Amino acid sequence: MSGLPERLQHLIRRDVQGLHAYAIQPSAGMIKLDAMENPYRMPAELRARLGERLAELALNRYPGERINELRAALAAHAGMPEGFELMLGNGSDELISMIAMACDVPGAGILAPVPGFVMYAMSAQLQGLKFTGVPLTADFELDEAAMLDAIARDRPSVIYLAYPNNPTANLWNDAVIEKIVEAAPGLVVIDEAYQPFASRSYLDRLQRHQHVLLMRTMSKFGLAGVRIGYLIGRKALVAELEKVRPPYNVSVLNAEAALFALEHADVFAAQAAQIRSQRAALLAELARLPGVKPWPSDANMILVRVPDAARAFAGLKERRVLVKNVSTMHPLLADCLRLTVGTPQENAELLAALQASL
């Protein structure tokens, strides 16, 4: 329980006091390969031009029409279909929280495969909704029968399907996804956070359904520090979700940085292509290490199983390489580490450090 003085404990919900805050690992002086960030900065010339634009913003004013211009630019960039609308969030995390808030009706619940992104379950818990986690198969595929049984039993208001999944980095079987979408009694959110690195998207199937939302983020695009997430869905549905969005939830600085980046989308597309190339090379090298099992990836991360995750993680950290130890997140992830794909130099240092740490 919390360390609050007794006279204050009644002010904070008991379940909140029992939670752990989202942990961010200290990374000063480390090769940072723990958070699926794009390892490449914006080129120096573009950074200088962006700085000039940001300096001219009226920071004394609330965000205005420029936010709508960002929505239009993102809709064009994503190829949003006719009859759909786009909603902005301060990162995908805020969108996930707003969906839980908007769908908080008696008996509501959220369902997602596990292991998966922790915010699906956390948003449910913080909103007082039931969360149903349906285990993946041993090879991290959707368990079709278990998913359909859980949907029929719990009738969730929201189903999250990460495409590809975090931390397993794989795309699931499209036929199974469609069966889940058809069986869903409520909303289905297809979370495409890692779309720049994936071989497929759900976007071309979005128009088939009234109840499916597509969620993306600019974090993996290359702007993790800018905090822009967006949601695409049928206009009538997004109009209802908009009612719980805080006014001015996207700052003028963030919006302008995102607009500038979209104007230079080719630069970020080239970075994504290099990351995909490095991912293939890194997968091949990891497969050669004794005792290491990497799984195929459609994201900018690779899940690996090692003989002793705690030992390997500690050894990597001693050698200034920071990755994510996911081995205690779920039994299916026993002795697993999640490695972000970095630059060629970072990946070389990761491989050397991992080999020395096994």
CATH no. for residue 66? 3.40.640.10
pLDDT, tens digit (0-9, with 9 covering 90-100), for 99-135: 999 999 999 999 999 999 999 999 999 999 999 999 9
- Res 101: pLDDT: 97
Backbone angles phi, psi at 66, to 5 degrees: -60, -30
Q: For the chain, how many helices (H) and strands (E)?
A: 13, 13
In the numeric block, the tokens 């999640």 are attached to 338
Question: Are residues 24 and 126 both part of a single domain?
Answer: no
Question: Are residues 276 and 209 both part of a single domain?
Answer: no
> What integer is the mean pLDDT of 256-262?
98
Task: In whole angstroms, give the CA distance from residue 196 to residue 211.
Answer: 24
- Res 63: pLDDT: 96
DSSP secondary structure string, 282-334?
HHHHHHHSTT-EEPP-SSSEEEEE-S-HHHHHHHHHHTTEE-EE-TTT-GGGT
| Domain stops at, among 214, 233, 263 | 263
- Res 9: pLDDT: 83
Question: Are residues 182 and 212 both part of a single domain?
Answer: yes
- Res 264: pLDDT: 98
Boundaries of domain holding 284: 6-43+266-357
* Tally of CB atoms within 10 A around 6: 6
Question: Are residues 125 and 240 both part of a single domain?
Answer: yes
Q: Is the pLDDT of residue 191 over 90?
A: yes
pLDDT, tens digit (0-9, with 9 covering 90-100), for 49-65: 999 999 999 999 999 99
Question: Are residues 243 and 281 both part of a single domain?
Answer: no
Residue 17 token pair? 């006091």
Question: Are residues 257 and 290 both part of a single domain?
Answer: no
Question: Are residues 313 and 344 both part of a single domain?
Answer: yes
Question: Are residues 202 and 313 both part of a single domain?
Answer: no
Question: Are residues 165 and 233 both part of a single domain?
Answer: yes
- Res 322: pLDDT: 97
- Res 27: pLDDT: 82
Question: Are residues 98 and 16 both part of a single domain?
Answer: no
Task: In whole angstroms, give the CA distance from residue 95 to residue 230.
Answer: 7
Coil, helix or strand at residue 186: coil
* Tally of CB atoms within 10 A around 86: 21
Confirm whether 186 is domain-assigned.
Answer: yes
Residue 69 token pair? 């211009």
Task: In whole angstroms, give the CA distance from residue 161 to residue 202.
Answer: 11
- Res 23: pLDDT: 75
Q: Is the pLDDT of residue 1 over 60?
A: no
pLDDT, tens digit (0-9, with 9 covering 90-100), for 264-322: 999 999 999 999 999 999 999 999 999 999 999 999 999 999 999 999 999 999 999 99
- Residue 315: give its domain's CATH number: 3.90.1150.10
Question: Are residues 244 and 335 both part of a single domain?
Answer: no
- How far is C-alpha 98 from the geometric centre of its chain's CA atoms? 15
Question: Are residues 91 and 150 both part of a single domain?
Answer: yes
Confirm whether 54 is domain-assigned.
Answer: no
Query: In Å, how far are 20, 70, 290 from 214, measured between CA atoms?
Result: 29, 17, 40
Confirm whether 48 is domain-assigned.
Answer: no
| Domain stops at, among 209, 239, 263 | 263
Coil, helix or strand at residue 111: strand
Residue 109 token pair? 């619940």
Number of domains in the chain: 2
- Res 198: pLDDT: 97
Nearest Cα neighbor of 172 from 207, 221, 134, 222 is 134
The answer to whether the CB of 183 falls within 8 A of the CB of 152 is yes
Task: In whole angstroms, give the CA distance from residue 195 to residue 97.
Answer: 21
Confirm whether 1 is domain-assigned.
Answer: no
Convert 200-228 to b/e letters by CB count within 10 Å (16 or more is b): ebbbebbeebeebbbbbbbbbbbbbebbb
